[in-house]
Structures are given as structure tokens and as C-alpha cells.
Structure 1
Amino acid sequence: MEIAFVTRMTEEERESFLAEVRVAVVAIPRNDLGPLTTPVWYWYEPGGNLWFETQPTSRKGQLMQIGTRISLCVQDERPPYTYVSVEGPIVEIAEDDRDLHEIPMAIRYMGKEDGPNYITGLPPSEWKRYIMHPERWLTMDGSKS
């Protein structure tokens, strides 16, 4: 039997919160160790999948394959405390395009002027987009208590 908590977000509230510009912490399972946890920039639109970028040769990239279940958490640490945590499988590892993905992501986090400058200042990379399908949600909205 599931207990309903007064602080739980509705589906619309949780998706809206996750779609806001926040730095997420992703947790990726590892054999014989605790999960790798690291901050990431991410992209989410309500009702869809969530994605973030990394290089396949990075620790994150080496640990994720299609089907790997990961968790991702975003929060607002200012009172009243609020968070959304999602869990789900990597459903696709997609090509990453500088103009279609990297620059829009940088603009999302750094603004229209600084974002493109940041990306164009980086050397070309072999980054991929790791796309996760959110299946399980945990939420808390402290303003509802």
C-alpha cells in the first residue's frame, strides 16, 4: 500500500520543476563500488526523455550502455526545500552536434552571449548524448508541508 505524502508533487509540478535550468547530480552504477555521482548539465522537456552529454571515454561514458539504469536528482536548496529525483534506463546513445545540441545546452546554462563563446572556445570533441527515459520519480515540495 502506497502512502500519500502531502509534500509530493503532481506530475505537472515535477515535470515543470525538472524542466527548469538546474545542475543535476547523476548516479551511475559501478561494479563493486558505490555509484559514480557527478554533476551534469541536462535537457528535459515535460513528457519526454532527459539527456545529457559526455565523452564515451569519460568515466560516465564508460559506465553507460543502452539499458543501464541511472538516477538523476535536481534540487532547490533554498527553503522551503524542493527536489525531483528520476530513475530510468539509458534508451539511446546518440550523436552530439555542436550547433544542434552543445551550443543550445551552453546557452541554457550560460546565456545567449557566454554560451556560444564557451562552446566555440572548446576543442572539437567526440561527445555523445546519453538519453534516459524517466520511469520512477521521487519528489518533495517543502512548500506543501
Structure 2
Amino acid sequence: MSKMTSTERENYLADLHVGVIAVERPDRAPLSVPIWYAYEPGGEVVVSSLAGSLKARLVTAARRFSITVQDETFPYRYVTADGPVVSIETADDATARAIAVRYLGEEGGNAFTESFARDHPDAESLLFRMRPEHWLSVDYSKESQQA
């Protein structure tokens, strides 16, 4: 199995994937949950969560998390990145909408964002920005290229 270069892994993380974040918690295994996220190469991983949720409380306490993204079909690839949370802020509509549009397309993302705001008028969402410091990656397609 072959590692990705730093450019390959950052571009792969920037591609559209459902991510899984893991965050430590006391007296139990880490919490691992699937999430939508945003990332641009060289930047920060941006994840949103409802204020007060278990995920938000744990990330706030730990001040770090890891994210894993993968291909589920052969040739398998994955990237895992972890690092410190560099900011926690109230989610603005533009960022929340951009993440929804990333996963659901323009029409679906806008409808999702508007529906959520209408159905949960008092909900506060937070944005967690994590700066990747440690990376793991594998690209099995490189194996078939070398054979």
C-alpha cells in the first residue's frame, strides 16, 4: 500500500466525501460520527454542530479531533487528519449554506438550510475549525500502477 503525497492527500480531503470525525471522551471510547465538512487545501477543516450537542460539547472540551474520509470501492483510498481546534464560532448562514450546497447541490442545499432554519428557529449552530497537523493516507490505486 502506498502513501499519498501531501498535495494528493490535501486534494483528496478537499473532494466531496462524507467524513467521520472522532473526538476523545472521558471513560469511553472516542465518539465517532459521520459529518459534512468543508476543506480547501492548505486550510482548516470546518465542521458544524448544534450548540449543546454531545459532539459540540466533546469537541469544545477536547479542543481537537480527527477526520477520516475514504473510498468504499476498489482501489481503496483514505485520508485521516487530526489537529487542534483553532476556533469555535457561531455558524453564519453563508457558511452553513455553502456546506449544505456542497453535499446536496444548489437547490437541495438551499432548501435544506431554509427548512432547518424554519423548523428550528432557536437552534444555534457552531463552526469548529481544525488545523490538520498529522496525516495518514493510503492509495491502493498506486499499487496497480506499480505492478
CA contact (8 A) 1:89 1:134 kept: yes
Sequence identity (%):
40
1:58-69 equivalence runs, <5 A: 58-65=53-60, 68-69=63-64
Residue 118 of structure 1 corresponds to 112
Gaps of 5+ in 2: none
Structure-2 separation of matches of 1:46 and 1:67: 24
1:1-145 equivalence runs, <5 A: 7-65=2-60, 68-98=63-93, 100-122=94-116, 123-124=120-121, 125-145=123-143
Q: Secondary structure at the match of 1:34?
A: coil
Runs of 4+ in 1 over 4 A off after TM superposition: none
Structure-1 separation of matches of 2:132 and 2:61: 14
Distance 1:43 1:66, change over 3 A: farther
Tell me the amino acid that sits aligned with residue 80 of structure 1: P
Tell me the amino acid that sits aligned with residue 83 of structure 2: G
Cα deviation code 1:14-38 (max 9, x no counterpart): 0100000110000010001000000
Cα deviation code 1:76-134 (max 9, x no counterpart): 11100000000111111012111x11111111000011110011011232001011010
* Matched positions, count: 139
Tell me the amino acid that sits aligned with residue 134 of structure 1: P
